[in-house]
Amino acid sequence: MTVANAGEFGLIARITRRLPSGPATLLGPGDDAAVIAAPDRRVVASTDVLVDGRHFRRDWSSAEDVGHRAAAANLADIAAMGAVPTALLVALCAPPDLPTVWAEELADGLGAEAASAGAAVVGGDLSASPTLTIAVTALGDLEGRAPVTRAGARPGDVVAVAGRLGHAAAGYTVLCRGFRTPKVLVDAHRRPEVRYAAGPEAAGLGATAMIDVSDGLLADLGHVATASGVGIDLRKDAFPLPAQMRDAAAALGVDPYTWLLAGGDDHALAATFPAGTELPEHWLAVGQVRESPAPEVTVDGRQFGDGAGGWDHFR
């Protein structure tokens, strides 16, 4: 059965049936709008869109994988403000010949990833389109804390990361070269493993700035450097190089630090903390904030690679 056979309202009924409710869901899908608890009297909100053939490929990722990834990309943005995710809204643009089961499994992935962060899918929209597109909006609650923006990093702060780096990028390279292993890397491209709880934790520890690593650590710390008006220097030897990544890099003739430092889509959290902050083990100190006449991110005091290390969605 395709989405055109099921029809708009039939498909909505099939999808919403599969979506679990969450603790903040006061009124879920089915009305003009959802109602979500916002106990803090402020709500944190972010939108990210995934386009077929650009952000995912249906021959490389299952619908459930895509659901996990679409949800994770948005939930990580909420965590990176120091907030706890509460809700997702999802707009799905689907070609009429899309199998209904694909949309259903997408919903399963979205729902499961949201639940893993304590949130739930509360609403959405459905339209026909020649291009399969998934636009997700995530909401979250600050629990009384100040939001951690990109603008608060100060010279002397420690730079630390929570979560995996370079895995999704390595998996993407592996898939591009026609391989299907190492599984840990390919799976990381398909489904990020995000440490959502590390975001509110960092806020509680006094993080001065925080960002979700979606474009690559260098590019994303570049946004922090620009917003904060500082320089950031990373120590290359602070980044452990997993054996499977090292081996895959050698086999493919790639510098694995390109993956670690410039690869996006793992949605690690990168934050700056006042010097002397006692960091839990899953926060890995990788560098330092310093004064700089112009915002820049360096590795061992020098520019890394071509200095770009980012991702422009139009290039």
Binders of a copy of itself among 21-50, rule CB under 8 A?
26-27, 30-50
The strands making up 120-128's β-sheet, listed across from edge to edge, are: 120-128, 84-94, 133-141
Which CB sits closer to a copy of itself, 41 or 302?
41
| Binding-site member from 16, 21, 62, 149 for a copy of itself (CB under 8 A) | 149
Q: Which of 138, 160, 198, 205 binds a copy of itself (CB under 8 A)?
A: 138
Q: Name which of 2 and 62 has its Cβ closer to a copy of itself.
A: 2
Give the dihedral sign, CA 276/277/280/285. negative
Which residue in the set 96, 240, 280, 307 belongs to the binding site for a copy of itself (CB under 8 A)? 96
Among 21, 91, 116, 242, the residue binding a copy of itself under the rule CB under 8 A is 91
Alpha-carbon distance of 13 to 29, in angstroms, equals 10
* Nearest one of 49, 196, 212 to 137, comparing CA atoms: 49
Q: Which is nearer to a copy of itself, 60 or 311 (CB)?
A: 311
> What's the rounded Cα separation, in Å, for the pair 264 and 174?
15
Cα–Cα dist 210/82, whole Å: 8
Residue 273 CB, shortest distance to a copy of itself, in Å, is: 17
Among positions 109, 123, 182, 309, the unique one binding a copy of itself when judged by CB under 8 A: 123
Q: Taking CB under 8 A as the criterion, which residues in 203-242 touch a copy of itself? A: 210-212, 227
Told to check if 93 binds a copy of itself by CB under 8 A, we report yes
Please report how close the Cβ of residue 307 comes to a copy of itself at its closest, in angstroms: 15
The token duo for 147 is 């939001």
In degrees, rounded to 5, the angle at the alpha carbon of residue 199 between the alpha carbons of residues 235 and 55 is 80
Site for a copy of itself in 251-270 (CB under 8 A): none
Q: How far is the CB of 149 from a copy of itself (least distance, A)?
A: 5
Q: Residue 127 — φ and ψ, nearest 5°?
A: -145, 155
Minimum Å distance from CB 11 to a copy of itself?
Answer: 8
- Find residue 291's DSSP bridge partners: none
Structural contact between residues 193 and 163, judged by C-beta atoms closer than 8 angstroms: yes
Phi and psi torsions of 224, nearest 5°? -65, -45
Q: Nearer Cβ to a copy of itself, position 138 or 185? A: 138
Neighbours of 141 (CB within 10 A): 25
Give the integer Cα–Cα distance in Å for 188 and 205.
28
At its nearest, how many Å lie between a copy of itself and the CB of residue 70?
11
Residues 2-21 that bind a copy of itself (CB under 8 A): 3-4, 6-9, 11
